[in-house]
Amino acid sequence: MSSVRPPKTHYDSSSSTSSFGSYSSSDSDVSAISVRASMDRPVASIEIIRCFRCARSVEMTTTDEASMYGMIRVGTGIYYCDRCARMTGYPK
């Protein structure tokens, strides 16, 4: 594959015109805000959580609460289903 190079152009450093065109700070502010807004949105992924006691499993998204699926979070990555939580006396 052959590449075609653009012709060589000499730019005079004493020239007062800019080759970048007009620049407005509000243009960059708008793009920075849109990038920041897209970064603030959480990315949801699927998790399978299991009851620590009976191994009942539920699929949920990372943005959902475990209680929506009948599971209670006991610790980091540790869950009880409602039935096992009642049996062990774990408070809701």
Instruction: Give the C-alpha separation, 31 to 26, whole Å.
Output: 9
Q: The whole model's pTM is what?
A: 0.51
Could you read off the pLDDT of 48-73 as tens digits, one per residue?
999 999 999 999 998 999 999 999 99
> Which position has the higher pLDDT, 81 or 7?
81
> Which position has the higher pLDDT, 39 or 83?
83
DSSP bridge pairs for 21: none
